[in-house]
Amino acid sequence: MRHDQRAADQLRCFKITRGYTQSAPGSVLIQAGRTTVLCTASVDESLPPWLAGQERGWVTAEYNMLPGSTQPRKRRERGGKVDGRTTEIQRLIGRSLRAVVDMQKLGPRQITVDCDVLEADGGTRTTSITGGFIALVDAIRSIEGLAANPLRDSVAAISVGIVDDVPVLDLDYQEDFAASVDMNVVVTGAGQYVEIQGTGEEATFSEDQLAALLILARAGTNQLRDIQCEALASDWPC
């Protein structure tokens, strides 16, 4: 048993609230244990300058940790300047969501998914991807005149790691800090990998350990797909 009494292959308790705010067409509050992220998706009927004149769309993401989301307080990022960690995470979220979108069917518009961490207890980037997909579904549903649904599949993400020589699923902050190996895995609903980010923290890991972590991650993202389906109900064909 882990410090929070979960089994090695057990997710934290996930809770998803759609329509959490009214300003954006896609708005989802997602909670994974104590980690809490507000994901909003906004539609802009224009393209970034580098795509001007094209008939394809674009999906991008921004990520931010609010000052009170962690201890000690995180300094607020101002003037459009973001640190390296923030840049890396928002690029990961954007890549993950774009992997399941047909940009031609989306048409000449941009959807921005904003992921704001209200409370951080590990897994903020993976929780952002899982909740960001639901917000993206709702934003696309709000677009009038689409000839076909541009979403090809769902996508979810989870962390896995080796803690005290045991492969475990969905690390919280305490486990993430203690892990000798830490990995984030992004998987589509059809079971295709989008991204695998794994590293040893002053340690190495074997091929057998890698395989065990990927099996855990696949089981976790399958459960997350079911949680997404339950949250979206008839608005997503599961």
- Dihedral Cα 184, 188, 194, 195, nearest 10 deg: 0
Q: For residue 5, is it within any domain?
A: no
- H/E stretch holding 126 reads helix 124-141
Judge whether 8 lies within some domain. no
Could you report the per-residue pLDDT of 76-94, keeping only the tens digit for each? 877 667 789 899 999 999 9
Q: What is the CATH number of the domain that holds 164?
A: 3.30.230.70
Residue 45 CA: distances (Å) to CA of 58, 108, 111: 11, 7, 9
Domain assignment present for 141: yes
Q: Is residue 1 one of the residues assigned to a domain?
A: no
Residue 30 located in a structural domain: yes
Q: Is residue 4 part of a domain?
A: no
Residue 6 lies in a domain: no
What order do you get walking across the sheet with 181-188 strand by strand? 166-169, 155-163, 181-188, 193-200
Three-state DSSP at 213 gives helix
Mean pLDDT of the 10-38 span: 98
Tell me what the pLDDT averaged over the chain comes to.
Answer: 95
Structural domain range at position 131: 14-235
Render pLDDT for 46-68 as a digit per residue (tens, 0 to 9): 999 999 889 999 999 999 998 88
Q: Mapping DSSP to helix (H, G, I), strand (E, B) and coil, where does residue 168 land?
A: strand
- pLDDT digits 0-9 by tens, 163-221: 999 999 999 999 999 999 999 999 999 999 999 999 998 899 999 999 999 999 999 99
Domains held by the chain: number: 1
Per-residue confidence (pLDDT) for residue 80, from 0 to 100 = 66
Q: For residue 89, is it within any domain?
A: yes
